Structure 1
Amino acid sequence: MTLQTAPFPKSSNATGSLARIAIIGRGFTGIMNAIALLKGFNRPFHLVMFDPNPRINGGEGVSRSAKTVLNSRVRDLSVDPTIRMDFRHWLEADEEWRQEASREGVDHSFVSGETFSAYVYQRFSEALRDRTDVVVRIQPEAVSTVHRASHGGLLVVSDEGQQTHFDAVFLASGYGVSESAEEAPAVGQPQNVIVIGGGVYAVDRALKLLSSNAASHITLISASGFLPQSHTNAAVGPVASNQPLPSTLRGAFRSLREAANTADLEGSGWQGIMNGFRLRAGELWKGLTAEERRRFKRHVKPIYDSHRNRLPPAHYQRLHQAIASGAITMTKGKVERIATNGILLSTSAGLQVLAADRTVDCRIRPIDIDAPLFRSVISAGLAKRDELELGILVDRCGRAVTGPETFEGLFVMGPLGLGSLPDIDQVPEIVLQAYAATAAARQWLHDTGAAADIERVG
């Protein structure tokens, strides 16, 4: 392994004849793709990771905040799909963690993004150490555009205007939390706080504010009116139906609701039914009409998300205890404006002004498909918007889809493909996609002839 921090060389004995691969973004999706390439791309190559943040962090894109609890169990968080218990074994090497988790079992435990980030970074470092035939460069620059090179391949252009040629490019910029409008808390009595957001991150932040006595009352603003449901106390696998999945949106979710209700009556819980449904969601999604997909985005997605992005049982109990006691009030509405002393909220009853001593914005920032980077690949014909405007159209391997049998070396990974692949914002799905993309990239470079030089060097 060679790790470089100097300017990217035009050509050298070390890198000139190697296939060049770029990863744009170094949150979890980017780091995961680097791990998969280092473990699964079995020929020498030169990898460049672009991100203006000079420090590698494996947790940015996982938990939205490093200290927030993840919504997947330990058993589902391995970065190597061939070693399912890898994360568990890593945790069990720590005596303090092993004692803390012994009561409920490590497999069923939930961890913070901070803990998971440490694991991901260690596995990245180990994969890097094991590849003495790979040159890796960390490029602390933002990328403004990606377009075709006149002699084949892709040109990555930084904000500073530097152009670098690559044989394959992975877009892995994902999304994250909106920049918070929160003010520093005043010293003194606990405050009346507004937390904006209805997801796991928002709930976790609200509970932390209460437990640390940083708030006496929290108004939790959910745009959809839904909050995350609960995981079961013990992990349950997918419950597969032997019935064919209805091909329409209405039929599929009617079938899901009926199966979940039956499971609840039988005492087995709806979570296994939902886990089974998620395994077939891609099949359903491909068969839906454009209008049905738009209807899903408008009407079904919020409740679907509240059942797939679940809280650990202890968090769910604390949330509903806080709601019952009046410590948390949940309000449905759209935030129109944030001020230092509260928010302007649009509700079904009209505009309302909600006063607060502090406002914490925990909404997930959607992908800005009109950002210069995405506009560049779309205008160049390297990628297409998905029809729901959620991101970029991709196949299961993350290859940007522009037409039948058309692919030019651009991979669009993780949450950027949510309009094409349901659940691709979840850790297990991102891991599987990263290895599928590595296999596709290996075949792509072989088919285009970029592997010829690699073989001569190896």
Structure 2
Amino acid sequence: MNDAASSLPVVIVGGGFSGAMLAARLAERGQASALIERGDAFGLGVAYSATLDAHRLNVRTERMSALAERPGDFADWLKAHHPDRADPNGFAPRRLYGLYVRARLDSVEAAHPGLIQRANGEAVAVEGQTVALSDGRRIQGRAVVLATGNPAPRNTPTGQNPRILSNPWAPGALDHIQPGDALLILGSGLTMVDVVLGLQAQGWRGAATAVSRRGLTPRAHGQHHDAPAPLPPEALTGVLSARLASARRLAREHGWRQVMEGYRPITAELWRKATAQERARFLRHLRPWWDVHRHRIAPEIAAALDALIAEGRLSVIAGRVAATKASPDAVSLSLRSPRGAPQTLTAQWVIDCTGPGHDVTTTPLTAALIAEGRARLDPLKLGLDLDEAGRVRHADGTPDQDLYVLGPPARAALWETIAVPDIRQRIEALTDVLTA
């Protein structure tokens, strides 16, 4: 790195976990950064802005350190600040993890003054190595990293009847739900779990029906960390159907959690090596089952969900929404079921819990990059096409030496890039590139 380049910051768009921890790591290596965050909750993002203890981490405390070289850092922080939550084998509230991330960012800033510049504002354009903000400010850097996190759901159009809640994470989105209201929830994954248990913690006592294409819900972690099962060659190479058969055999022999732990550290490598056709087959046939087994919930959260189902307050059904009819007091959904007759369900509210709506073609910041040829979609249109270092590929496939993607928006290239252990690994690799 020459002196002229090193005097400019790395401009990081997005101040959630990915962006904030990258800024901290760069500062520890002597590289300045400018951290742009739309709000003022630096380090939190959507995931760790949670305020309720019902919203738990989905990874054990012992594996949630923000530092690769200090695996017990989060557990040690809990011992010092929240000893009642310091079980390394437990699943801490996400609000506490947010406090931990902010504490790390603050401590690095104090130890390396001047190397992290915080900027409140909305990034609207990337022009070369400069990021333009909506208020007219322009922040020049030596490289730009897009760490914009998970976007809001996009499956329900905005501006519909106010009883159709298109983004449960928007401030105040669920405030008008009354204790006895009936709910229809689109999606049965992690967002559904968070919404239902969050409402429960705030006094909601009604009933909810969750609808998803296959009616699958997240599986639970075991009571203790599962050792990874040894994966034979036939589980790693060859046609996808043969790999699946091998994985199923291993699950019968060792348990499915052990098999998933075996795949966890090599998932990104397997994804990178897969052809576009193999990736498409995985997405079309296996993804729903992969998601519910890979992205598990804490045992106590699973127990709370099971209790709601046993009480008849939560039902999970398979189906697709064929039509929606809304009135001032209720919403009706007409469903097509994969097996059985069509049915119509009515409730006071419909909540979109289908998960992040990744669409870089409709997000102004990335849509402009695609339009000018500085970026392109990956072949399956999951997101921006990247090289192995996280560099954005131009329309002709050439990697951009000044533009990178980190965290959930990098899923097209890396697939598993949403959990802290995976993002932490990417931060280390990207820090090496940016300070080389």
TM-score above 0.5, yes or no: yes
Is 1:123 aligned with 2:104? yes
Is 2:182–2:208's contact at 8 Å kept on the other side of the alignment? Answer: yes
Tell me the secondary structure at the aligned position of residue 144 of structure 1. Answer: strand
Tell me the secondary structure at the aligned position of residue 209 of structure 2. Answer: strand
Is 1:384–1:393's contact at 8 Å kept on the other side of the alignment? Answer: yes
In 2: Cα distance, 1:215 partner to 1:222 partner: 22
In 2: Cα distance, 1:235 partner to 1:212 partner: 31
Counterpart of 2:27 (choices 26, 38, 50) is 38
Counterpart of 1:231 (choices 188, 206, 221) is 221
Is 1:193–1:215's contact at 8 Å kept on the other side of the alignment? Answer: no
In 1: Cα distance, 2:341 partner to 2:400 partner: 48
Q: Which deviates more from structure 2 when the two are superposed, residues 72-81 or residues 164-173?
A: 164-173
Tell me the secondary structure at the aligned position of residue 233 of structure 2. Answer: coil
Aligned length: 406
Where do 1:3-22 residues align within 5 Å?
Answer: 18-22=7-11
User: Amino acid of the residue matched to residue 114 of structure 1?
Assistant: R
1:123 to 1:329, Cα distance in 2 relative to 1, 3 A: same
Q: Provide the TM-score with structure 2 as the length reference.
A: 0.85
**Deviation for aligned residue 1:351:** 6.1
Is 1:394 aligned with 2:386? yes
Is 1:247–1:287's contact at 8 Å kept on the other side of the alignment? Answer: no
Where do 1:26-425 residues align within 5 Å?
Answer: 26-39=15-28, 41-43=29-31, 45=32, 47-53=33-39, 55-62=40-47, 65-67=50-52, 68-94=55-81, 97-99=82-84, 106-132=87-113, 134-148=114-128, 154-178=129-153, 179-180=167-168, 182=174, 184-186=176-178, 190-210=180-200, 212-244=202-234, 245-263=236-254, 269-335=255-321, 337=324, 339=326, 341-348=330-337, 352-370=343-361, 371-402=363-394, 406-425=399-418
Bigger radius of gyration: 1
User: Amino acid of the residue matched to residue 155 of structure 1?
Assistant: T
Q: Which deviates more from structure 2 when the two are superposed, residues 209-218 or residues 307-316?
A: 209-218
**Deviation for aligned residue 1:376:** 2.2
Percentage of pairs with the same residue: 27
Q: Provide the TM-score with structure 1 as the length reference.
A: 0.81
In 2: Cα distance, 1:237 partner to 1:422 partner: 23
User: Amino acid of the residue matched to residue 28 of structure 1?
Assistant: F
**Deviation for aligned residue 1:293:** 1.2
User: Amino acid of the residue matched to residue 42 of structure 1?
Assistant: G
In 2: Cα distance, 1:280 partner to 1:211 partner: 37
1:176 to 1:404, Cα distance in 2 relative to 1, 3 A: closer
In 1: Cα distance, 2:333 partner to 2:258 partner: 40
**Deviation for aligned residue 1:29:** 1.6
Is 1:217–1:327's contact at 8 Å kept on the other side of the alignment? Answer: yes
Is 1:225–1:333's contact at 8 Å kept on the other side of the alignment? Answer: yes
**Deviation for aligned residue 1:319:** 1.8
**Deviation for aligned residue 1:183:** 6.1
Structure-1 residue corresponding to 2:156:
none
Structure-2 residue corresponding to 1:433:
426
Is 2:215–2:317's contact at 8 Å kept on the other side of the alignment? Answer: yes
**Deviation for aligned residue 1:209:** 3.3
User: Amino acid of the residue matched to residue 21 of structure 1?
Assistant: V
Q: Which deviates more from structure 2 when the two are superposed, residues 76-85 or residues 191-200?
A: 191-200
In 2: Cα distance, 1:283 partner to 1:27 partner: 25
In 2: Cα distance, 1:173 partner to 1:337 partner: 32
**Deviation for aligned residue 1:28:** 1.7
| Deviations 1:165-216 (CA, angstroms, capped at 9, x unpaired) | 3210010112144423646033xx6232233332223113323434554123
Is 1:64–1:176's contact at 8 Å kept on the other side of the alignment? Answer: no
| Deviations 1:424-448 (CA, angstroms, capped at 9, x unpaired) | 01111111111211110112xxxxx
Is 1:155–1:163's contact at 8 Å kept on the other side of the alignment? Answer: yes
In 2: Cα distance, 1:367 partner to 1:175 partner: 7
1:318 to 1:17, Cα distance in 2 relative to 1, 3 A: closer
Structure 1: 5+ residue stretches without partners = 1-14, 149-153, 264-268, 444-458
**Deviation for aligned residue 1:115:** 0.7
In 2: Cα distance, 1:212 partner to 1:284 partner: 42
In 2: Cα distance, 1:352 partner to 1:170 partner: 47
In 2: Cα distance, 1:344 partner to 1:278 partner: 37
User: Amino acid of the residue matched to residue 389 of structure 1?
Assistant: K
Q: Which deviates more from structure 2 when the two are superposed, residues 196-205 or residues 311-320?
A: 196-205
1:397 to 1:66, Cα distance in 2 relative to 1, 3 A: farther
Tell me the secondary structure at the aligned position of residue 125 of structure 2. Answer: strand
**Deviation for aligned residue 1:363:** 2.9
Tell me the secondary structure at the aligned position of residue 358 of structure 2. Answer: coil
Structure 2: 5+ residue stretches without partners = 154-166
Is 1:341–1:355's contact at 8 Å kept on the other side of the alignment? Answer: yes
Is 2:30–2:115's contact at 8 Å kept on the other side of the alignment? Answer: no
User: Amino acid of the residue matched to residue 143 of structure 2?
Assistant: A
1:417 to 1:313, Cα distance in 2 relative to 1, 3 A: same
1:440 to 1:405, Cα distance in 2 relative to 1, 3 A: farther
Is 1:37–1:435's contact at 8 Å kept on the other side of the alignment? Answer: no
